[in-house]
A and B are shown apart, each in its own frame.
Chain A
Amino acid sequence: MQAEKDIILLDLRKLVRRFGGFTVINDVSLSITKGEMRCIIGPNGAGKTTLFNLITGDLKPNSGRVIFQDKEITKFNPEKICRIGITRKFQTPTLFSNLKVIENILMAGYGKHKISELLFKKVDAQDINRTLAILEVIKLEEKKDVLASDLSHGEKQWLEIGMLLRNEPKLLLFDEPTAGMTRQETLETAHLIRNISMNLTTIVIEHDLKFLREIGENVTVLHNGKILAEGTFDEIEQNENVKNVYLGRE
């Protein structure tokens, strides 16, 4: 088991991404080991979401490589990257708002199926049972037949997290999972994500320091498209550079 912990799951090598003349990601190299939970923090415009877009194939880097499980995936399209095991949570709840809660989770479960496995096949009892198990985790069992658009903001965020779980990824990316949440919801979400990350590798972009304290794992600080510091939350909190550009503002 100890050996497995050291396996590098995701390896970003010298990623560069420019928009026009502006370099948003500037020579970023980052390694995530299997089972790790990594937090990425940084001020607005530091390039955090762009980094996720590069990992998930939404954007292609100008140079550099993305390696997942020892395989180069830099040029893969988003659905292929998802199929090999990387699923992401978007910053704002990104759901099928005209579908019911249960149907949202079902669709996440079918994500890696071939279309031939979906054609003319009905939703079966096994699909439903797996979906109900997820609804229990995200505490939305009672709202399973509600349209996703009718959920509260916090519930939507949780529903999306439930969809990611049902998608059964190897690596989960969370882009500000507590954005717009109340203090109580933030704590509950931190707890949920912590539970999820027991069995999964996760990367979390987060602004909220309460959340980071709650999680307390490895932190990478991004600033102006570059990695400014890496370490545990306590180390980062003490780091002078980080204080200046980011924490100092609090």
Chain B
Amino acid sequence: MLMKSLKAISLESKIFLIILFILLVLPPFTSMYQIRILSKFVLFAIFAMSLDLIWGYSGMVSFGHAAFFGLGAYSLTLLLVRFPEGGTLVAIAGSLLVPVVLALFMSFFLIYGKVSGVYFAIITLVVSLTLELLCTAWYSLTKGLTGFTPIPPLSIFYLKFDADTTARLVQYYYLIILVAALIYFILHFFTRSRYGLLLQAIKDNPKRAQFLGHNIAGAKTIAFILAAAIAGLAGGLYAPLEDFISPQLLGLVYSTQVIIWVAVGGRNTLIGPFIGTIILVYLETIFSGIIVEAWYLIIGIILVVVVLFWPDGLMGIVSKRIRK
């Protein structure tokens, strides 16, 4: 009986459940610093899964996905600081909704305007850079390059979440893991539904899909908006954890890094970006402690090797089995 129900779970979800289990039992064996960076890894992994929804699953290459992540971080922070009466839930809602509004606006011009391929990538990059500049320049609102700190803790049902004490940090860690699990399973059902198949079909041959009656712009817009909301939420949860946000979060650095995480992990799977992110961010933490500038060189080499030899990323090797 148990064997049967285990078989019904896809290989991808099995791997995810194993990772989830490891993450859940880790805290007693780790230091506060390690929990803090692990929380960050998981948030970045959520961010990477959201990019893969539009890149791997829907075929839209965005070079500006950090715009949503950073916007989520700033929305949550500014709501917590300037509108404390609203409380945590309003702030979290803001970190979801503000990126969604931007995504809706962008969809109208990019998706309904039939912008595709490299032009889509360039325009999303410009949006990301513009927001970074705006955030830098608008000092009275965002404190510009100085960055925003301190950031008030999240509080839900008398529980406080930030990195100030071990107890609060462990709570925060579990909250982030809960969110990661929820988002993984939402995306899992999303991509394996009829709609997920439609996204694959549109990526494959938009013309055929359109001439079978499918609303391709509508289908892409839904994926784009969902990805923006998830990236925004990840960014929102990032702010009180780091206790510091700066315009960099919206810009080129994170936008390109997340692309590398997804490419290395493996597009068109959920677990690929998740694992790819954790491995690369972990390596970055180690190497940038030793040789700061060399990290970008190393990650560049990793990217070139992956693109040349494993275009489907680490998960590409097993992806045919995973997708079943």
Residues of A near any B CB (own CB < 8 A): 56, 58, 78-79, 82-83, 87-88, 90, 94-99, 103, 106-108, 110-113, 115, 117-123, 127, 163, 167
Q: A82-B213, A83-B213, A111-B213 are in contact. Are A121 and B194 (CB under 8 A)?
A: yes
Residues of B within 8 A of A95 (CB): 205, 208
A108 and B198 contacting across the interface, CB-CB below 8 Å: no
Subset of 27 A-B contacts with CB under 8 Å: A56-B211, A78-B211, A79-B211, A79-B213, A79-B214, A87-B212, A88-B211, A94-B205, A94-B207, A94-B211, A95-B208, A96-B201, A96-B205, A96-B209, A98-B200, A103-B200, A107-B212, A110-B198, A111-B212, A115-B195, A115-B222, A119-B190, A119-B193, A119-B194, A119-B222, A127-B194, A167-B213
A122 and B213 contacting across the interface, CB-CB below 8 Å: no
- B197's partner among A83, A106, A120 (CB-CB below 8 A) is A106
Q: How far is the CB of B83 from chain A (nearest CB, A)?
A: 33
Sample of 20 further A-B pairs with CB below 8 A, known A97-B204, A118-B194, A123-B197? A79-B216, A87-B213, A90-B211, A94-B205, A94-B208, A94-B211, A96-B201, A107-B197, A107-B214, A111-B212, A112-B213, A113-B194, A115-B219, A115-B222, A118-B198, A121-B194, A122-B193, A122-B194, A163-B212, A167-B213
- A96's partner among B192, B194, B208 (CB-CB below 8 A) is B208
Residues of A within 8 A of B195 (CB): 115, 118-121
A72, B214: Cα distance in complex, Å: 21
A112, B214: Cα distance in complex, Å: 7
Q: How far is the CB of A217 from chain B (nearest CB, A)?
A: 24
Q: How far is the CB of B197 from chain A (nearest CB, A)?
A: 6
Residues of A within 8 A of B200 (CB): 96, 98-99, 103
B194 and A110 contacting across the interface, CB-CB below 8 Å: yes
Top 8 A-B pairs, shortest CB-CB distance: A111-B213, A111-B212, A82-B213, A118-B195, A118-B194, A96-B204, A83-B213, A107-B201
A110 and B208 contacting across the interface, CB-CB below 8 Å: no
- A108's partner among B189, B192, B212, B218 (CB-CB below 8 A) is B212
Residue B215 interfacial (CB < 8 Å): yes
Chain B residues with a Cβ closer than 8 Å to the other chain, count? 25
Q: How far is the CB of A239 from chain B (nearest CB, A)?
A: 33
- A99's partner among B189, B192, B204, B213 (CB-CB below 8 A) is B204
A121 and B193 contacting across the interface, CB-CB below 8 Å: yes
Q: A96-B204, A107-B197, A107-B198 are in contact. Are A120 and B214 (CB under 8 A)?
A: no
A98, B210: Cα distance in complex, Å: 17
A113, B212: Cα distance in complex, Å: 10
A96, B222: Cα distance in complex, Å: 21
A125, B211: Cα distance in complex, Å: 25
Residues of B within 8 A of A83 (CB): 213
Residues of B within 8 A of A106 (CB): 194, 197
Residues of A within 8 A of B219 (CB): 115
Residues of A within 8 A of B198 (CB): 107, 110, 115, 118
A108, B214: Cα distance in complex, Å: 9
Residues of B within 8 A of A112 (CB): 213
The residue in B192, B201, B215 that gathers the most chain A C-beta atoms within 10 A of its C-beta is B201
A127, B198: Cα distance in complex, Å: 14
- CB nearest to A80 among chain B residues: B213
Q: How far is the CB of A120 from chain B (nearest CB, A)?
A: 5
Q: How far is the CB of A121 from chain B (nearest CB, A)?
A: 5
Residues of B within 8 A of A56 (CB): 211
- CB nearest to A104 among chain B residues: B201
A87, B213: Cα distance in complex, Å: 8
- CB nearest to A123 among chain B residues: B194
A134, B54: Cα distance in complex, Å: 32
Binary CB contact string for chain B from 171 to 213 against chain A (1 if under 8 A, 0 otherwise): 0000000000000000001101111011011001101111111
Q: How far is the CB of B68 from chain A (nearest CB, A)?
A: 21
Residues of B within 8 A of A90 (CB): 208, 211
Q: How far is the CB of B314 from chain A (nearest CB, A)?
A: 20
- CB nearest to B268 among chain A residues: A98
Residues of A within 8 A of B205 (CB): 94-97
Residues of A within 8 A of B209 (CB): 96, 107
Q: How far is the CB of A101 from chain B (nearest CB, A)?
A: 13
